[in-house]
Structure 1
Amino acid sequence: MPWKLGGYIGFIGIQHELGNYQVATLKSRVNIAQLGTVIIAMLTMVVLIIVDLKLGAMLNIPETSNSRSLAWMLGEAPLPMIVSVVIFSPICEELIFRGIFFSYALTNQYNHRNYQMIAVVINSLIFASVHVDANWEPWIYYTLMGSILGTTYLLAKRDIRMNILVHMGTNLAVFALAAMS
């Protein structure tokens, strides 16, 4: 039931946030700096995933309930699961965690570098809290993921498309690396 309630709240937030995006903004050209930011963010995420997998195996860190659920669903319905995790989840999560969060946290009066850093930290902790359970080790991993995504959003001039691309690439890399191991 909490997931259903969260889904409804998220849907309402996404509907509201989509109303704030102007068509001209979404149709704007992507510049070289944004592409560079995306490439660096994706490479950083892949390195983070590999380090997490290696450390997890070395230190015998238990898998998160989120990871167990995803693995089970992948076994039950692989294609819908991959489409959901690689396409739909990144779109929804980025609209909520970066789009909505930063549009409210960094209004004109709070759009200073110091506030941006604080907003990235808070956003990262919220992002991690949705993805982990009681174990502290995954908190580090997901907080770092959230901080990379938050920083990418700001460096890419708040172009949500860049974040969605990084998030999709990251989730695809997780599937690819899991399949190889």
Structure 2
Amino acid sequence: MKNIKNNYHPIRVILHIIVFLGLFLLEQLPLSILTLTKKDLGSSYPIYQKYAPFATILLLIISATIIILVFKHIRKAPAQKFTKQTWFVIGIATVLTLLINVATVPFMRSSNDNVEALKLVANNSIAILIIFTIFVAPILEEIIFRGIFMNWFFVDKPFLAILISGVLFGYVHAPFSADTDWIYALSKILLGIVLAGVYYRTKNIKADITVHFLNNFLAILGGAITTGVILL
């Protein structure tokens, strides 16, 4: 990301918003295939369980390829190399994510829409859920919410870009409504802000992917003991 004034053109901004939303929906689509139940499908459920994972994987490969290609095309500057300072930032950010989880998880509801959707996926393919949670989500979510968002929007206003990136990240995990678990939403907003700060500070998408990976991996371990409400 270059520290230069960004020339905002209304039509370009609108197109960027449309493409950004489209890429987010594309990232969500593969896993949504695995959220159907026997109640939804009846006698077709065994066939669905047999073929849905393959359809999910195929669609995931397609969507990931498109998202990564878009990011490579639009990023403002080549990624900076990993240095000792990069690893220091990753370490500090990982500690912050742990503190956020420790401070918020005890006050969250026992479940929410995001968790319930993940449980549906787990019922149909626990292997895909684990792979998606540990590897796919950190890569694609960071490319979309940090890599693409921060290269397209508020380029010359990094504080605003970091803040809005975090709020958007929180919103997609816990859409704001009268029934929202606001502690859960806050945890995701804070996590998003930390990850955006890592990307801005290191100028390397792999750095915030690493922090996101560690957060989700530790959440998997914690979820084996508790409720798993901090996944994704």
Q: Is the structural similarity TM-score above 0.5?
A: yes
Which residue of structure 2 aligns with residue 51 of structure 1? 103
Residues 30-179 of structure 1: pairs in structure 2 closer than 5 A: 30-56=82-108, 61-107=109-155, 110=156, 115-133=157-175, 134=177, 135=180, 136-156=182-202, 158-179=203-224
Q: CA deviation at 1:89?
A: 1.2
- CA distance in 1: counterparts of 2:28 and 2:126, whole angstroms: 27
Structure 1 residue runs without a partner (length 5+): none
- Whole-angstrom CA distance in 1 between matches of 2:82 and 2:189: 27
Q: 1:63 is paired with a residue of what secondary structure?
A: coil
| TM-score calculated relative to the size of structure 2 | 0.63
Query: Between Structure 1 and Structure 2, whose CA radius of gyration is higher?
Result: 2
Higher helix content, 1 or 2: 1
**Cα displacement (A) at 1:72:** 3.4
Give the CA deviation at 1:4: 9.7
- When residues 47 and 69 of structure 1 are mapped into structure 2, their CA distance, relative to the original with a 3 A threshold, is same
Identity over aligned residues, as a percent? Answer: 20
- After TM superposition, where is structure 1 displaced by more than 6 Å over at least 4 residues in a row? 2-5
Deviations 1:27-76, CA, capped at 9 Å, x for gaps: x64101110111111111122122222222xxxx3522112222332344
Range moving further from structure 2, 66-75 or 164-173? 66-75
SS in 2 for 1:180: coil
TM-score, normalised to structure 1, is 0.80
